[in-house]
Amino acid sequence: MSDIIQLLPDHVANQIAAGEVVQRPASVVKELLENAIDAGATNIKLLIKDAGKTLIQVIDDGKGMSTTDARMSFERHATSKIQKAEDLFNLNTKGFRGEALASIAAIAHVELKTKPKGEELGTCIKIEGSKIISQDFISTGEGTSLAVKNLFYNIPARRNFLKSDTVETRHIIDEFQRVALAHSSISFLLHHNNNEVYHLKSGNLRQRIVAVFGTKMNEKLVPIDEKTDIVAIEGFVAKPEFSKRKRGEQFFFVNNRFIKSSYLNHAVVSAFDGLLEQGSHPSYFLYLQVPANTIDINIHPTKTEIKFDNEKALYAMLRATVKHSLGQYNVAPVLDFNRDANLDTPYNFKSSTKTAAVPTISVNPDFNPFKEEQNTQPNFNYKREKQTESWESLYTNIESTETNKTESLFEQVEEEKTQKTFQIQRKYVMSLIKSGVVLINQSLAHQRVLYEQFLESITVKEANSQQLLFPVKISFSSAEIEMIYTIKSELENAGFSFDEFTKDSVTIKGIPVSVTESKITIILEELLNDMNLEVPDASFSHFDVMAKSFAKTLSIKTGTLLSEKEQESLVNNLFSCKEPTISPFGKATFKTLTLNQIDNLFNS
């Protein structure tokens, strides 16, 4: 029998490794930015074209690399960060696996330009699919510039799995924000398709958060600062009134590395217990410093999951610290049992020269309480007359009341004979049909109705727009403004009208007829969250997501009382839809109970 096991070629092994390291353009962005930080850069530029599919370039002013190091950096498992296995448990750098550049070079066209400080000439290396095309000495600035072009050019199947440019751009911005928030002392610049998205100057944590998420964020922040032997915690949480329906602005950083931890998130949420509305999530930017030998960050290729030695202690400290800050800054109600001296009664009259005034009493000696009664004879007939009239009147009222009750009940019975719909627990609408009854979920049914209406308005006919008397200016982060601008034409088709776009705000002068002014911000925030969903790249996708988002935000909610006319209108509109059986999100809008099914309930 011939041998069938053989070693994989290096370029195939690199492509397989790339499957773990490089899942999408944002993965490349993360690796290149972290390399620039490890190189000691103080200024980092990120240039993106076509959501990273055409170009991802990172330029830094770090220490650069020698010719040998530049060549070695593209070899598998080549790293300057660790020398022995024990180093994995005492890491103070970002990248350490030694797979990033090798994996990226296996699936893209890569051009590296680098020069160490003090050298006259730098090195330029060009690689395509793990093959070195050229290596030359060039004149370049100190630091490193690494350009990744045509990502997944040799793996078409992987490229086809990428999402729309909007979604991929959102992922890139997410990675950029995480790195920028972790390193406020470094200046960052982000350009997408030659448009400046972020220009972040070096500063403190508050300045960096405000620069990333807009000036309105400044008033929302409550500072956190606590140092113990186990952990040092600093950062900010947002005030409860600024909580959001989606888990967007939630950031944990451990030793300046972004992580995800549902366990620590629960600690923060529990500190807000009693302060948040149901379904709302707090925003926070929390930075934890722990000894490097007490964490393990080598449990996932993305290095966003960390294992702690003492999770329970961290949980308790984090919860107590956030709760303390909320109380300290009068965000949370605090019961103070210490006596306030200002509220004490000043019992110092004994030592005072003042004396209390003696109360005086005046008496009228000529007062005769029987004088008026003696001069006036009571009219008993009048009293009897009044009493009789009162009793008769009372009897008459009772009789008329009973009559009105009987008539009202009769009218109600007559009305119920003709009523065809009934609302149950302000959640369902029951409609009578010949074969039985139909139970309709009022919220899901209204979502279906609104979805088809909005979809028709956006794609088929021009939507009606109402002009606002006073334009509304809404603040967003630069990334959110970028997303709104990319779908500006679709929003205009839906009935929105825009006046001005700035880096951190958008001015709206017209809205769809079915939208109230008070819901503009909610609708756009929900839409931005929904745009982050994994939507395939199709010309129809933006319209579909937009219609679904509008329908979900504006639909009748559970707990809303509907009049009989509103119930009938909902039923009629639902069964006029093209797909009345399911909501836009695939849930059943109604269920039918036949008379036989109802009979079986009582015969079983």
Q: Which of 294-308, 309-323, 389-403, 491-505 has the lowest mean pLDDT?
A: 389-403
CA 513 to the chain's CA centroid: 27
pTM for this one? 0.64
Tens digits of residue pLDDT in 521-531: 888 888 887 77
pLDDT higher than threshold 80 for residue 123 = yes
Distance CA 445, CA 584 (A): 9
What end-to-end distance do the CA atoms of the chain give, in Å?
68
pLDDT digits (tens, 9 = 90+) for 167-219: 888 889 999 999 999 999 999 999 999 888 899 999 999 999 999 988 888 88
Q: Which residue has the higher pLDDT, 499 or 363?
A: 499
What is d(CA 260, CA 53) in angstroms, rounded to the nearest whole number? 26
Strand order in the sheet with 590-594: 421-424, 428-433, 436-441, 590-594
Q: Which two tokens stand for residue 425?
A: 């627990």
Q: What is the mean pLDDT of residues 493-514?
A: 84
pLDDT tens for each residue of 136-177: 999 999 999 999 999 988 888 888 888 878 888 888 999 999
Q: Which of 91-100, 187-196, 370-379, 543-552 has the highest mean pLDDT?
A: 187-196
Q: Is 113 helix (H, G, I), strand (E, B) or coil?
A: strand
Q: What is the pLDDT of residues 205-255, one digit of tens each?
A: 999 999 998 888 888 899 999 998 888 999 999 988 888 777 778 999 998
As a whole number of angstroms, the longest Cα–Cα distance in the chain is 139
As a whole number of Å, the CA-based R_g of the chain is 36
pLDDT recorded at residue 355: 60
Tokens of 123: 């090195």
- pLDDT digits over 384-430, tens only? 444 445 445 544 444 454 445 445 544 443 444 456 788 898 899 99
Class of residue 13 by CB neighbours under 10 A (exposed 0-12, middle 13-18, buried 19+): middle
pLDDT value of position 460: 65
The C-alpha torsion from 58 through 64 and 70 to 75, rounded to 10°, is -70
**Predicted confidence (pLDDT) at residue 537 exceeds the cutoff of 50:** no
Query: Could you give all domains of the chain from N- to C-terminal order, each with its CATH number?
Result: 10-203 (3.30.565.10), 206-328 (3.30.230.10), 433-591 (3.30.1370.100)
HEC-encoded secondary structure of 541-576: HHHHHHHHHHHHHHCCCCCCCCCHHHHHHHHHHHCC
- Looking at residue 415, its pLDDT comes to 46
**Residue 183's pLDDT is what?**
94
Cα separation, 417 vs 503, whole angstroms:
61
Residue 42: pLDDT band with limits 50, 70, 90: very high
Q: Which residue has the higher pLDDT, 353 or 489?
A: 489
Residue 264 has pLDDT above 70, yes or no: yes
Among the residue ranges 49-53, 85-89, 214-218, 535-539, the one predicted with the least confidence is: 535-539
* Amino acid at residue number 412: Q
CB-CB contact of 543 with 555 (8 Å): no
Q: Which sign, positive or negative, has the C-alpha torsion 23, 201, 239, 511?
A: negative
Residue 134 pLDDT greater than 90, yes or no: yes
Confidence grade of residue 125 (pLDDT, cut at 50, 70, 90) = very high
CA angle 500, 503, 508 (to 5 degrees): 30
Q: Are strands 43-49 and 187-192 parallel, antiparallel or unpaired?
A: parallel
